[in-house]
A and B are shown apart, each in its own frame.
Chain A
Amino acid sequence: DVKVTQSSRYLVKRTGEKVFLECVQDMDHENMFWYRQDPGLGLRLIYFSYDVKMKEKGDIPEGYSVSREKKERFSLILESASTNQTSMYLCASRQTGTALSYEQYFGPGTRLTVT
């Protein structure tokens, strides 16, 4: 069964703290993604990785960095958390496949609150 897990469901951090969000997939997928989801704005792509050690900026990378040292693990890092980074963070993965098919499998999400 397909599985994407995230390290925490809920997280509360203080402004200025360094925050690590971890995502692990057990499907041997090449592609992994980090999104944030805010009411009225939908899912916005922060970063994605198309293979180990490869990464590309998404639509809103400012204030974030990522790390992918192993195929199954993709980490999102908030170098200095700010209150405007309070959000739901969703990780997803996908196998590189045919040109048209494109199922992304999502993790359960991490609700981050920065106070």
Chain B
Amino acid sequence: QKEVEQNSGPLSVPEGAIASLNCTYSDRGSQSFFWYRQYSGKSPELIMSIYSNGDKEDGRFTAQLNKASQYVSLLIRDSQPSDSATYLCAVKKRPNDYKLSFGAGTTVTVRA
């Protein structure tokens, strides 16, 4: 079982719709969760982090965490063509860990 698994994608949504990305993780004790966005040919950039169960909103992005189900998701509301990218889910397992475990990523295409 992979440490972090994401929808295989690709995910295609029309402009203005909600894009929903899912991520599950295997280590129940994991502490911190992150979503990175990576445009084609570019390096990843952090867009959201979440540490507690529930929802966290930042502009058009909402991260949702359910530790009991070992599940974290990212919603992109009012999707724009500029949101077309690969989204990487990352998990930090322990407070003293130096490293992150990444999922393989989900590619999102927003159709104009």
Contacts and interface: CB of A to CB of B under 8 A. Distances in A.
Given A41-B104, A42-B102, A42-B105, A100 B43 contact: no
B105 to A, nearest CB: 6
A101 B49 contact: yes
* Interface size range of chain A in the complex: 20 to 34
Contact of B43 (A45, A56, A90, A99): A90
Given A40-B104, A43-B88, A103-B49, A50 B98 contact: yes
Contacts of B69: none
Contacts of B34: 102
Point out which of B43, B44, B49, B103 has the most chain A C-beta atoms below 10 A from its C-beta: B43
Contacts of A50: 98
Interface string A58-93: 100000000000000000000000000000001000
A108 to B, nearest CB: 5
Contacts of A100: 31-32, 51, 92, 95
B1 interface: no
B15 to A, nearest CB: 26
Interface residues of B, number: 21
Contacts of B31: 99-100
A108 B43 contact: yes
B32 A42 contact: no
A25 interface: no
B43 to A, nearest CB: 4
Interface of A: 31, 33, 40-45, 48, 50, 56, 58, 90, 94, 99-104, 106-109
Given A44-B102, A102-B34, A103-B46, 20 more contacts: A31-B98, A33-B99, A40-B104, A41-B104, A42-B88, A48-B99, A50-B98, A56-B98, A58-B99, A90-B43, A99-B31, A99-B95, A99-B96, A100-B31, A102-B32, A102-B49, A102-B100, A103-B49, A104-B46, A104-B100
Interface of B: 31-32, 34, 42-46, 49, 51, 88, 92, 95-96, 98-100, 102-105
